[in-house]
């Protein structure tokens, strides 16, 4: 298992468009990918789960990956978040 803690920098947080980008990125990998915010631990491959996490701008989240391509999955999701979801 790999994990990385990041701050959400885009101005609106994980609203529909960045959540969809996150799900699309996560779905490209075989590994399990979770997004953790406080006590919430949600499946990053589920749009509904991501939206239910209520991640806002400035929040800190942890991305956890586990599986055969966990390093690549973590790198891809981390890059997306650090880029502010290209907004």
Alpha carbon distance 34, 65 (integer Å): 6
Reply yes or no on whether 15 is catalytic.
yes
Catalytic residue among 2, 9, 15, 75: 15
Alpha carbon distance 18, 30 (integer Å): 21
Q: What residues are labeled active site?
A: 15
């Amino acid at each position: 298992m790999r994990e990385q803690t990041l701050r959400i920098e885009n101005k609106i947080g994980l609203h529909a468009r960045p959540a969809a980008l996150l799900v699309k990125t996560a779905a490209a990998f075989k590994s399990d990918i979770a997004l953790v915010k406080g006590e919430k631990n949600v499946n990053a491959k589920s749009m509904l789960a991501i939206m239910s996490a209520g991640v806002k701008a400035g929040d800190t989240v942890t991305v956890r990956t586990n599986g055969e391509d966990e390093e690549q999955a973590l790198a891809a999701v981390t890059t997306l978040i650090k880029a502010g979801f290209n907004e």
